[in-house]
Amino acid sequence: MEKEGGSQRATIRDVAARAGVALSSVSRALSGHPDVSDEMRKRVEEAARALGYEPNLVAQSLRSGVTRTIGFVIRDISSPMFALLARSCEQELRRNGYSMILVNSDGNVDNEARNFALLRRRRVDGIIASLVAEDSPYLQKNLTAAHCPIVLLDRQVSGLKVSAVLSNHGAGVYLATKQLLERGHRNIAFITGSSNVYPTRSRLEGIERAFREFKLEVPQDLLATGGFDSDYALAHARALIHKTPAPTAIVAGGLGALMGVTKALKESNLEMGKDIAVVALDELPYIEVFSGDISTVYRDPEAIGREAAQLVLEGLAGKAPRESVIDTLFVERGSSAGGL
């Protein structure tokens, strides 16, 4: 019932001593090895319980060469979508006996490289990563030297054997753009996100497909790529609004962009869904209750998290890396109306 050694933790050696058997027998008894008599199993379990023995996973990892740990490298976990994604991913990993070790890169490639190195030293069994960029200089080395399966979130790095979960942003953006075009919009402004990542390429593909169907040219001067965080997004949104001819619709990709647009419209006393049509790419959780009426291109963050976990588990099972595509859909709400 009580610990014998006082505050020290019981080891397998203590259990062996108490049960009066060899170390190896304890190990076999507790790990379900077949070569163990019932008598032995009972004595060992009894002793283990009495000592409050809990196996040392560090020692097990060293011996077995496997840590049952997955590294999760993320640009910024505070984004609500990532939070949902991380949760479902952790649940799925835990259900399969793995723990998740979480590191933020804070959007910084140097941090990201350090984080990869840290995970390598920790001998994680696999890595799930939302990379800052696809063209970071350390990237090739980080991905090839990892010695473990890797799953990328919404990133494509050519020439490497890694898995990836890709959202088909283009599909939803295509539908949204098509609807705007059908309603007569021609001056549609797009804020698509940083140009060096897959989502932007996918979105552009959707935009171009829609315009092509209408035999129109994409208005290049209303097309804004580039990182859009907070202040910069606001400045950019202001500039877009005041172009001539003024855009009658805005498609804002990413939270920063949406915030910028929202503020800029407020400043100019423009109401979305009335004076100007607005579509957001990716939506906040709880959007229906709080942000109300914003039309969005939606993707299910929990599905992405689960799929990422599945892909890394597949890799651990020895399967070849592969890409998995998650669909997006256009959710029409009030904000995409209006604007002439």
Partner DNA sequence: CTCTACGCTGGAAACGATTGCGGTAGCGAC
Partner DNA sequence: GTCGCTACCGCAATCGTTTCCAGCGTAGAG
Measured from the CB atom, is 42 or 161 closer to DNA?
A: 42
Between the CA of residue 53 and those of 1, 45, 48, 120, what are the distances in Å? 11, 10, 5, 30
Q: Smallest gap, in angstroms, from Cβ of residue 287 to a second copy?
A: 8
Determine if 147 is a binding residue for a second copy (CB under 8 A): yes
Question: How far apart, in whole angstroms, are the C-alpha atoms of residue 314 and residue 308?
Answer: 10
Q: Smallest gap, in angstroms, from Cβ of residue 244 to a second copy?
A: 27
Question: How far apart, in whole angstroms, are the C-alpha atoms of residue 216 and residue 273?
Answer: 24
Determine if 12 is a binding residue for DNA (CB under 7 A): yes
Determine if 285 is a binding residue for a second copy (CB under 8 A): yes
Determine if 9 is a binding residue for DNA (CB under 7 A): yes
Determine if 238 is a binding residue for a second copy (CB under 8 A): no
Structure tokens at 55: 């196996």
- Residues between 49 and 88 with contacts to a second copy, criterion CB under 8 A: 52, 54-59, 61-62, 67, 69, 72, 76-80, 82-84, 86-87
Q: Which stretch binds DNA (CB under 7 A): 9-17, 221-229, 234-242, 285-293?
A: 9-17
- For residues 18 to 47, the per-residue mask of contacts with DNA, x marking binding by CB under 7 A and - elsewhere, is --xxxxxx-xx-xx--xxxx-xx-------
Look at residue 260 and give its three-state secondary structure: helix
Strands (E), the chain: 69-74, 99-104, 126-129, 150-153, 163-168, 188-193, 223-225, 249-253, 277-281, 295-298, 323-327, 329-331
Q: Which does 13 bind (CB under 5 to 8 A by kind): DNA, a second copy, none?
A: DNA
Look at residue 276 and give its three-state secondary structure: strand
Q: Smallest gap, in angstroms, from Cβ of residue 43 to DNA?
A: 8
Look at residue 176 and give its three-state secondary structure: helix
Q: Which stretch binds a second copy (CB under 8 A): 21-29, 96-104, 187-195, 315-323?
A: 96-104
The count of chain residues that interact with DNA, using the rule CB under 7 A, is: 30
Q: Say if CB 260 and CB 228 are below 8 A apart.
A: yes
Determine if 62 is a binding residue for DNA (CB under 7 A): yes
For residue 245, say if its preceding peptide bond is cis, omega within 30 degrees of 0: yes
Which residues make up the interface to DNA (CB under 7 A)? 9, 11-13, 20-25, 27-28, 30-31, 34-37, 39-40, 53-56, 59-60, 62-65
